Amino acid sequence: MKRKTSQRLLNLLVWAIVALTLSPVAFMVYASLSDYNDVVTGNLVNASFTPHWSNYREMWVNVDFLAFLRNSLVICGFTTLFSTILAALAAYSLARFRFRGNHPFSVAVSTTQVIPGMLFFLPLYMLYIQIDDAGIPMMNTYHGMIFLYTAMFTPASIWIMRGFFVTIPRELEEAAIIDGCSRLGAFVRIVLPISAPGIIATASFVFLLAWDEVFFAWVLTSSTDVQTVPVGLRLYMGQHATRYDLMMAAAVVSVIPVLVTFFASQRWFIKGLAAGAVKG
């Protein structure tokens, strides 16, 4: 009896946490369908509520939000691709090869994640200006943002992938090498297919981080041809009025690619987390 009671209390606690976590999302969706005056005055709870679907139509007219979605997909997509490839090669080297500085380098990679990115802003900004002056445009360019995001998110990807590669038995690669595969061939034909859940989980992690990043995207870009979704959401904040209803509608739309990415890779994401947690 006590066990059933405790199980019910635990279930209630879990549902309470889930409800608390989803409440901001529910408010965002509700506000996106509310009238502007109701959102501004805070009068969102009323019996005569009628969904204002026109907010979703007007948000595209008020701001060219499609351009920001395109920019985010391009920048985050290439960042995910490059970061995953570089992290896979580096993580495999750290997991399989023993060389001088292996452990210090692994520690240094993980240490970079505890340093706030804000500390890199000033030297990075000056570096980008100097490269621009040298004739290689980095500000307000796709490749400038992709290079930055790849450098920012690759260290975490290396640390995560290393845990996946360590769990793969060395005997599988040794058997492939005995059968005539090179080290690279064994990595491509044996290690990568087995570690696919971990690679997909890491790629999803990088994509979500890049999609949500706003500070560097806001400072290093000033053109709508390059600016990403988080920066585009700020354009609904005008000098004299802030269209919170349109901002909430745009926020709902911007969440859709994230949800699609997560649900499409959910099975692999869970497998990857479970595999990476077995052995470090």
In percent, the amount of the chain with pLDDT more than 90 equals 19
Q: Characterize 193-232 residue by residue with b for buried, 16 or more Cβ atoms within 10 angstroms of its Cβ, and e for exposed.
A: ebbebbbbbbbbbbbbbbbebeebbeebbeeeebbbbbbb
In percent, the amount of the chain with pLDDT more than 70 equals 91
* Domains identified in the chain and CATH numbers: 57-276 (1.10.3720.10)
Give the mean model confidence (pLDDT) for residues 8-33: 88
Q: Which of 6-15, 21-30, 64-73, 112-121 has the lowest mean pLDDT?
A: 112-121
* Region of residue 204 (phi > 0: left; psi between -120 and 50: alpha; otherwise: beta): alpha
End-to-end CA distance of the chain: 40
Q: What is the pLDDT of residues 88-97, one digit of tens each?
A: 998 888 888 8
Q: What is the pLDDT of residues 206-217, one digit of tens each?
A: 998 999 898 899
The answer to whether 33 and 51 have CB atoms below 8 angstroms apart is yes
